[in-house]
Amino acid sequence: MNIVLGVGGGIAAYKSAELVRLLIERGHGVQVVMTAGAQEFVRPLTFAALTGRKVVTSLFSTNSESTLSSAIEHIGVAQENDLLVVSPATADLLAKFANGLADDFLTTMYLAFTGPVVLAPAMNSNMWLHAATQSNLETLRRRGHRIVDPEEGQLACGMVGPGRLAAPEQIAMAVDAEIGRRRDLDGETVLITAGPTQEPLDPVRYISNRSSGKMGYALAEAAAARGAKVVLISGPVHLAPPRGCTFIAVHTAREMRDRVFENLQPASVIVKAAAVADFHLSKVPSQKMKKTAARLSLELDPTPDILAELGRKKGDRLLVGFAAETENLQQETRRKLEAKNCDMVVGNLVGGEGGAFESDQNEVLLALRSGEFIAVPRASKREVADRIFDEILKLRLHIYATNGR
């Protein structure tokens, strides 16, 4: 695998020499890119000697005979490499990556890079704990980057606290994990539903719910990043469809059901993250309802239960449902697993403080047919999405092993 190692300007820059050794030991080719700050701490020659390659030190190489080739070198480096690891990632680099600033080789190359990214931050504790840094980290996590959290300890500035660069061995292990996870859904089609549905009451009103679609979109992003062909069927939300997905927009439960079954055939995994309305008005008036009486009663009919129908027709496909609960999470998650013939149900608490709807974070309880429950602790929805796919793949290996399929 070809890896770009971005070295930022911090005292911990020297530790990246050890990281280079560990990556080369694992058989990777390593291209080092140093920021101007990094070169104040370590000389490029150290990395050139370790990697046997010229170290990239600036956006425009002054001694290049061809200005054009030096001007587009960052695109070449971005295209030729499979993974980007940045160590140490300074507060400045995190801010630039989070906001898309591109004023040197590393930050410009980052924008042109489409592969997985591992960031190992290191800085003073107050800088690490600052709201600006934490919000940049949140953005980068949501983008799917793996963050190797710094350790607590004595820092170069004399303070004791979080901010010390993780050990090179730990950063190398994060790179291993990212590579291992990378293409484990290659060649598969994953069908995902997301967001709420809207059930019209008249031409201007509808019944819906607070689902933001963020969990379903994070699942779509994660599956696509792991090599799957993703079909995302989504109710109305304020999110851009993830890159590379086949995107199908729907409004009602009925439309969602029809699109799901039209796209079922090639899918090997189905994840029903959508918060489908349970009731709708069967005969929607063609004109706006008028305020005629003090009270209004509406007679609603059940919508098709898409997950239950999938449970009957799924064949060999792995079916994952969601349970949005306000109480009795474990009990309800288990009940839905049985009732809808799912292989896994992802239970989450919704409503109230810290509820899953609208939030960028989530914590979930996975119920499996073995009777086992797996608690996934609070993390960004993108990280939770990856944990869900980790468990889906484990579960499938187990099913294959026991059924001999």
Binding stretches for ligand CTP (CB under 6 A): 253, 272, 274, 276, 278, 303, 305-307, 321-324, 336
As a whole number of Å, the CA-based R_g of the chain is: 25
CA distance 220 to 204: 31
What tokens does 94 get?
């995190």
CB 147 within 8 A of CB 93: no
**In terms of DSSP H, where are the helices of 183-305?**
214-225, 253-262
In 10 A of CB 404, how many CB atoms?
5
Q: How far is the CB of 328 from ligand CTP (least distance, A)?
A: 10
Q: How far is the CB of 314 from ligand CTP (least distance, A)?
A: 12
Burial of 370 (0-12, 13-18, 19+ CB in 10 A): exposed
Q: How far is the CB of 276 from ligand CTP (least distance, A)?
A: 4
- Specify the residue, 122 or 345, whose C-beta has the smaller distance to ligand CTP: 345
- Specify the residue, 305 or 390, whose C-beta has the smaller distance to ligand CTP: 305
CA 109, 112, 115, 116: dihedral to nearest 10 degrees? 60
| Residues known to be catalytic | 157
Annotate 76-112 with b (16+ C-beta within 10 A) or e (fewer): ebbeebbbbbbbbbbbbbbebbbeeebebbbbbbbee
HSE (side-chain half, CA atoms, 13 Å) at 194:
31
CA distance 393 to 345: 14
Taking alpha carbons only, the member of 194, 238, 239 closest to residue 220 is 194
CB 85 within 8 A of CB 118: yes
Helix, strand, coil % over all residues of the chain, rounded to 5: 40, 25, 40
Q: How far is the CB of 322 from ligand CTP (least distance, A)?
A: 4
